Amino acid sequence: MANRYSFWSLLKHGLKHHETWQPAWRTPQLKPRYDVIIIGGGGHGLATAYYLAKNHGVKNVAVLEKGYLGGGNTARNTTIVRSNYLWDESAHLYEHALKLWEGLSQELNFNVMFSQRGVMNLGHTLQDMRDIERRVNANVLNGIDGVILSPKEIQDIVPLMDVSASTRFPVMGASYQPRGGVARHDAVAWGFARGASELGVDLIEQCEVTGMIIEDGRIKGVHTTQGDVFADRVGCVAAGSTSTLAKMAGVRLPLESHPLQAFVSESMKPCLDTVVMSNAVHGYVSQSDKGELVIGAGIDSYLGYGQRGSPHVIEHTAAAIIELFPSFSRVRLNRQWGGIVDVAPDACPIIGKSPVKGLYFNCGWGTGGFKATPGSGHVFAHTIANDAPHPLNAAFALDRFSTGHLIDEHGAAGVAH
């Protein structure tokens, strides 16, 4: 009965009574001046605006989004959340984000569907296993949950996986982070958008930033498709489009923009309740709440801004997943897409000041920024509000590329690049 009641109720409201629903956020006119402008209405930009208003009392803020909120990589990613990075700096940053994820639905009063179903990173060679042992040990020393699994233990958690010695790349073991998992990507953007809007932040969609207004080395505002708008502090949170925006400010960042693809299958009954990733065979898979297999690849190796990607990458990834899960060979694929990821040479983000006073960048998250969304917004808001980094993002400043203090996280990146 309960199901029938919710079906009719849903139908009734879907067909008719939704006219009275309140929009989740306001649609204000763009004002000529703000205290802070955030360029980019993805999860990170919206989280930054939310924490600026909530934690720092900076409420005269505009988020300028060239398309619709959360329509960039936030809408295109495969939502894996984990904090099992190798180096202390990144482990602390991602663990900060993971702790925020654990209370995010309550914080935003919006169900972001964070599901801690565990994330497994497979090893297929002796060197993979050495790297896994080193990373899990480092995680445990940092207070981050992690264990090393044998093939038998993997099989107990994921019975459908072929862990026999007869595969082309036999599974020798895995790292496993039980607190990792997945979340609902749209809900994260919508939850932060609603929270920021309620606190007074203006969310301006269909508003593309086309130029920067800079005087005497200091940011004064931006040109947009809706006119000029002024602010003494501007935060740029534009993922794959960051280099284009930096160029408008005369700044050259060490970033490359690559396509990253994913695809989903038809819906099926629950068969996989853990996230399985393999950097070595270039594929990862989870099952969504709708029952689709969500499958992703390594980056396409060429640079580009077309949000599509090349078919041979999908073919390679599908082959790897089918080898791990032979029974998936009969599953039909439903749709495929690509996003443009901003990759830094050490596979770590750049968060902090730029050579232009008052202009800050939060970028370089590459293939792995969704998991950082609340933590990224939290520390970036601190950086903008105080004109100084939060202790957790101090190591991620742009100057690491001149001082040489790189934080190489290629091994923990999760997908190959």
Give contact residues for ligand PYC (rule: CB under 6 A): 78, 80, 82, 284, 296, 367-368, 414-415
**Given the complex with ligand PYC, which of 80 and 97 has the nearer CB atom?**
80
Q: Which of residues 76-95 bind ligand FAD (CB under 6 A)?
A: 76-80
Q: Which is nearer to ligand PYC, 100 or 207 (CB)?
A: 100
Of 68-76, 142-150, 190-198, 324-332, the window that binds ligand FAD (rule: CB under 6 A) is 68-76
The two tokens of residue 161 are 């996986």
**Measured distance CA(82)–CA(90) in Å, rounded:** 12
Contact 234, 60 (CB under 8 A): no
User: Residue 245 binds which entry of ligand FAD, ligand PYC, none, with Cβ cut-offs from 5 to 8 Å by kind?
Assistant: ligand FAD
CB of 336 to ligand PYC, least distance (A): 15
Q: How many angstroms separate the CA atoms of 234 and 66, rounded?
A: 16
The reply on whether position 286 binds ligand FAD by CB under 6 A is no
The Cα–Cα gap between 53 and 294 comes to: 35
Q: Which residue is nearest to ligand FAD (CB)?
A: 42
Q: Which of 53, 58, 73, 285 binds ligand FAD (CB under 6 A)?
A: 73
Least separation in angstroms between residue 19's CB and ligand PYC is 39
Query: DSSP label at 33?
Result: B
CB of 103 to ligand PYC, least distance (A): 21
| 48, 147, 155, 294 from 161: Cα distances, Å | 40, 19, 6, 16
What gap in Å lies between CA 384 and CA 128, rounded to an integer?
39
Q: State which of positions 190-219 bind ligand FAD (CB under 6 A).
A: 208-209
Q: In the complex, what is the shortest distance from the CB of residue 413 to ligand PYC, in angstroms, rounded to a whole number?
A: 6
* Closer to ligand FAD by Cβ: residue 64 or 324: 64
Residue 323, classified by CB atoms within 10 Å of its CB into exposed (0-12), middle (13-18) or buried (19+), is: middle
Give me the least distance between CB of 366 and ligand FAD, in Å please: 6
- 3-state DSSP: the chain helix, strand, coil percent, rounded to 5? 35, 25, 40
CA 178/CA 180 separation, integer angstroms: 5
The residue number with the shortest CB distance to ligand PYC is 368
List the Cα angle 361/367/370 in 5-degree steps: 70
**Minimum distance, C-beta of residue 79 to ligand PYC, in the bound complex (Å):** 9
DSSP 208-264: -EEEEEEETTEEEEEEETT--EE-SEEEE--GGGHHHHHHHTT---S-EEEEEEEEE
Question: The sheet that has 209-215: what strands, in order across it?
Answer: 209-215, 218-224, 229-230
Given 60, 67, 310, 410, the residue binding ligand FAD (CB under 6 A):
67
Q: How far is the CB of 330 from ligand FAD (least distance, A)?
A: 24
User: Which range binds ligand FAD by CB under 6 A, 73-81, 125-133, 151-159, 166-174?
Assistant: 73-81
Neighbours of 117 (CB within 10 A): 15
Q: Using CB distances below 5 to 8 A depending on partner kind, what does residue 53 bind out of ligand FAD, ligand PYC, none?
A: none
> Which range binds ligand FAD by CB under 6 A, 41-49, 136-144, 265-273, 378-386?
41-49
260 near ligand FAD (CB under 6 A): yes
Binding positions for ligand FAD, rule: CB under 6 A: 39-45, 64-67, 71-74, 76-80, 208-209, 237-239, 241, 245, 260-262, 296, 339, 341, 365, 367-371
